[in-house]
Amino acid sequence: MQLVDQLKSLFIKAPSSETENELDELPKNISSNLNQQIQALSCHPKYLEIVQSTLEKALLQWQKNPETNELVILSSSVEPLSQIIESALANWNYENIEDIKLLSWSNRPKDSWNIIPNLQKDLALSTKLDVDNNSEKFKELVVIPCLEFCFLRQINGLDGIEFLRNRIFQDHSRFWLIGCNSLTWQYLDHVYNINSYFARTLPLPTMTGEEIMEWLNPVINQLEFKNNDQDEEKQLAKIQENFDYLSYISQGLSSVAAQLWLQSLSLANLENINTQAEDTETILVEYKKVKSLDLPELTADDRYLLFSMLLHKEINLSDLALSLGESESIIQFQIENLLRMGIIQRLNNLFSVHPAHYLKLCRYLKKYNFITDLIE
C-alpha cells in the first residue's frame, strides 16, 4: 500500500488544468541525471534473498558432502550480477563460515595471458594444492562475482578458467561461489564441457511489472506526471498496465526495463522547463508507449565485435583488439561508430552492449548462429 500511496501522490502533484504542450524527448542532461539515479539503485530484495537462501542450502549440503563445493549464479549479460552477489554477502552471516575471500577485480588484469598468478595472489591461494594440511577446512567461502574477468578469448586466454575448474574440482575444503553470464557459461560449456564439473547452477529469475515499479520507485518519485485522467483508479491501473508491458517487452530484465522505461518518458511542460537545470523535481513528464529500440545496420565485423563484448560482459579497447586479433586502431574506429549509434556504452574505459539494444541484438546474432543468452 505504501508504494500505491506514493504513486498516487505523483499524480496529485500534477496540475489538473495542464495545457497541452509539445511533447519532446528528455534533454540529455536530465536523462543522464535520471540514468545515474537508476545506476545507484540498490538491488531488488528479491535477488538478495534468492542468492542468500540458495547459498545457505548449498553450504549445508557441502558440510554433509564435501564434493558439492560450488554454486554458480547465472544471469543475462547486461544484468549487474556482481553487484547482486556482493550486496547479498554484505550483511550476511553464516555460522559455519569464518572467512570470505572475494575476488576484488573491477576489470581483468592487464597481463591476461598470465592470469593464474593474479588469481592466486588476490584469493590468497597456495601455488600447490595441499588439502591434507588445511586447519581451516570447511570454513572458507571463495567468491568470484564476475567469472568473465578471469579469461580473454585468445591463445592461452582461458588458462584462468582451466585453473579454477581444476582447483574447485580438487579442493573440497573450500566452497566456491561464482557469478557468470549465461552466454559465457554456454561458451565455456562448449569449450570445456564445464557443466560436467559444476552441477549446481542458479539462473536468476526475471522481474514482474510490479517488482520493476517497486525497484524504480525512488527515481519515479523525482518526477511529476501529467494527469490526463482525473480518475485515480484508472490512472493507477494505467500505470500498472505500463509496467506489466514493460516487464513483457524487457523479458523481466532489470537493466533492459530501466532503459526502456527511461526511453518512454517525454517532457510535458517543454515551454516552462529549464533544460539546463540539474534539478528534476520540477519536471512534468508523461509516458509514451514503451517499445524496444530498432537496431542500426550492422556489418559482419560489427557482429563479431558485439559478440565478443557480450561474451566478456565488459572489456577495454586493448583486450577487445586481442580477442578479435585486430589492431587497436581498427577496433577503435568500429567502437566509435557503435558508440555514435548508441548500441554500446562506455563506463570507466570499459565497453559493453547498451541494455536497451540487448534483446534485439541477441535475436539478430542468433540468426547468424552466434551463441546468445536469449531467453526464448
- Does 339 or 271 have the greater pLDDT score? 339
Q: pLDDT (tens digit, 9 = 90+) per residue, 268-314?
A: 765 545 555 545 455 688 878 888 889 999 999 999 999 999 999 99
Query: Domain locations in the chain?
Result: 2-40+207-287, 45-203, 300-363
Query: In the predicted model, what is the mean pLDDT of residues 244-257?
Result: 96
Joined together, the cell numbers standing for residue 98 give: 569464518
Highest average pLDDT, of 70-79, 105-114, 232-241, comes from 70-79
Question: Residue 278 in contact with residue 33, Cβ under 8 Å?
Answer: yes
Question: Residue 188 in contact with residue 222, Cβ under 8 Å?
Answer: no
For the cut 50, the answer to whether the pLDDT of residue 2 exceeds it is no
Q: pLDDT (tens digit, 9 = 90+) per residue, 158-175?
A: 999 999 999 999 989 999
Question: Residue 373 in contact with residue 182, Cβ under 8 Å?
Answer: yes
Q: What is the pLDDT of residue 1?
A: 44
Task: Report percent pLDDT > 70 for the chain.
Answer: 85
Mean pLDDT, all residues of the chain: 85
Residue with cell 580438487: 170
- Does 282 or 255 have the greater pLDDT score? 255
Q: What is the pLDDT of residue 30?
A: 87
Q: What is the pLDDT of residue 230?
A: 61
**At the topology level of CATH, where does 300-363 sit?**
Arc Repressor Mutant, subunit A (1.10.10)
Q: Of 47-56, 263-272, 351-360, which gets the smallest average pLDDT?
A: 263-272
Q: pLDDT (tens digit, 9 = 90+) per residue, 224-245?
A: 877 766 677 777 888 889 999 9
Q: What is the pLDDT of residue 323?
A: 94
- Give the residue among 171, 173, 196 at the shortest CA–CA distance from 185: 196
Q: What is the pLDDT of residue 274?
A: 54
Q: What is the pLDDT of residue 284?
A: 80
Question: Residue 125 in contact with residue 115, Cβ under 8 Å?
Answer: no
136 — pLDDT class (breaks 50, 70, 90): low
For the cut 90, the answer to whether the pLDDT of residue 356 exceeds it is yes
Q: Of 10-19, 23-32, 204-213, which gets the smallest average pLDDT?
A: 10-19
- Give the residue among 288, 285, 287, 306 at the shortest CA–CA distance from 297: 306
For the cut 90, the answer to whether the pLDDT of residue 60 exceeds it is yes
135 — pLDDT class (breaks 50, 70, 90): very low
Question: Residue 145 in contact with residue 179, Cβ under 8 Å?
Answer: yes
For the cut 80, the answer to whether the pLDDT of residue 133 exceeds it is no
**At the topology level of CATH, where does 45-203 sit?**
Rossmann fold (3.40.50)
Q: pLDDT (tens digit, 9 = 90+) per residue, 19-35?
A: 343 445 788 888 899 99
Q: What is the pLDDT of residue 150?
A: 94
For the cut 90, the answer to whether the pLDDT of residue 334 exceeds it is yes
Query: In the predicted model, what is the mean pLDDT of residues 33-42?
Result: 94
Q: What is the pLDDT of residue 13?
A: 38
- Give the residue among 358, 364, 335, 316 at the shortest CA–CA distance from 112: 316
Those residues whose C-beta lies under 8 Å from the C-beta of residue 64, and which sit 6 or more positions away, are none
- Give the residue among 27, 11, 34 at the shortest CA–CA distance from 267: 27
